[in-house]
Amino acid sequence: MKGGIGASWHSLVFDLPLENHKYTWPADTVSPRGSAWGGNPPLSDTKAWDQVYNHARWLGLDFIRVELDQRMYEPQRNKFDWNNDEMKVVFRILDWCQKNDADVFLQQMWGHVEWNSYPGVNPLISAPRSVSDFAQGIATLLDYLIRVKKYTCIKYFCITNEPPGGTWGSWWRNGKSSPPLTPAWKAVREKLDSMNISLPLSGPDWTDMPPFDASKIDFDKYIGAYDIHSYQGIDESKEQIVADWVKWAAAHNKPFFLTEIGNMKLGWRGTNPGPKTFAASLSNVSDIIKALNLGVDAINRWSFVNRGNLDGQWQLIRTYDFENKKYLSEIKPEKEAYYGYAMVTRFLKKYASIINVKNQKLPDGLQLAALRNTDGSFNIIILNKNPESGNISLVFEKNTFKGPLYKYQVNKESIADENFRLEPSETIKKNSFTVSLLPQSITVLSNYNLKQEDFGKMSGR
């Protein structure tokens, strides 16, 4: 892998009205910003922030999609503001990533600036009227973050979120149509190069699991990584789509990322709890196992923090009481989402190697991925989607077993126990063994013996 597994960490603070009555497009009044704002505690509540940091550390999140918009740092043309509350949130998140050696995929979600929007188009969804000014703004941002703030954790930059080009996209409009993106990639890349900023760009950031089409790829020379989003799951038909993207990226010596994954099939509008359920965890782990075995280099879940009151409860931790409209002083995990996702993040370090597993066809409902961390430790992720318990027999080839392996296992019922602790239930010391699987469960076999109070494993830690 060229990255790790993590989650989106939004930096936007304020809910700004769309004021669609001022514009001729779009005609509706529904905000397409969704839940990408307001999920962090107030800046003044440092105790709550420390809790958020500890949850990120416990989960072992090492690939973080940090999200901002141009309005935060360049509210007026060539007038930059690094000291507002939203930029301070950006710095807090990046400080944590820098300290904990987490890779940052920095994402500009949209522009949201009137000064560079098309006439009559809401600034939130407008493409930049001046691509040159757009590129200059991004270059100034990255120059400040990399050279002034000296963040080395930022590994990739994406210029816009979910633009038209996939199966859906909205945030790149000049009205009812969409201008091409390639001139913007070109302008940003050339501006960065002129300033000796080598940070690779990533794209196209299309959604939702867009089929690969080489005829649409006229921007390869401007980007250093490929990424797309998926919210409908990776079923058999979607596996070929992922394989096609991975193959293309690899042929061009570039990594391929899934920078947003989630499950909308369980419901996602309003305050729907579907995304935070254990059923969603099972679905996400299924997608992650398939993606890893297909060669995906990094995976990012939507999302780590989230108010949960806009387009579904996607949060891993609860920072906001949406019923009483206030931030919480005690930050607690959304247990089913939190522990389900921990099974793939807590034991896995970034840049792990995906191991080719030789087997007969797995029984229906079982999936498996095996990985070796950079320190040589093993992680085996096993998913049992069946409503019945099961078993799976594993054999390490001669001289490849490194033990002991510790068995961790969760399902909806075990997590619901008020005394639940994510700790080993079994120790395996031989190279051939059978693993018992609870119904609809996630199992991990790891060389790491972690107690509930231990932080997750991250690079070099």
**Domains in the chain: boundaries:** 5-345, 354-446
pLDDT of residue 433: 96
Place of tokens 């918009």: 69
- Alpha-carbon distance of 282 to 304, in angstroms, equals 17
Sequence-ordered alpha helix ranges (H) in 145-270 = 182-194, 236-251
**Using CA atoms, how far apart are residues 308 and 34, in angstroms rounded to an integer?**
10
Distance (Å, whole) CA 394 – CA 91: 45
Segment holding 333, helix H or strand E: strand 326-333
pLDDT of residue 176: 83
Q: Which residues of the chain have pLDDT under 70?
A: 27-32, 359, 460-461
The correct answer on CATH 3.20.20.80 for the domain covering 5-345 is yes
Give the per-residue pLDDT at 27. 59
**Are 262 and 274 spatial neighbours (Cβ–Cβ below 8 Å)?**
no
Element (H, E) at 446: strand 441-446
- Burial (CB < 10 A; 0-12, 13-18, 19+), residue 98, is middle
Can you give the pLDDT at residue 28? 59
Q: What is the pLDDT of residue 358?
A: 72
Whole-model pTM? 0.97
pLDDT digits (tens, 9 = 90+) for 37-69: 899 999 999 999 999 999 999 999 999 999 999
User: Tokens 């596996």 appear where?
Assistant: 239
For 53-62, give one letter per residue: b (16+ CB within 10 A) or e. bebbbbbbbb
Task: Say what the pLDDT of residue 36 is.
Answer: 79
For residue range 95-140, what is the model confidence (pLDDT) as tens digits?
A: 999 999 999 999 999 999 999 999 999 999 999 999 999 999 999 9
Nearest in space to 303 (alpha carbons), one of 96, 10, 41: 10
| DSSP state at residue 69 | -
Architecture field, domain 354-446 = Sandwich (2.60)
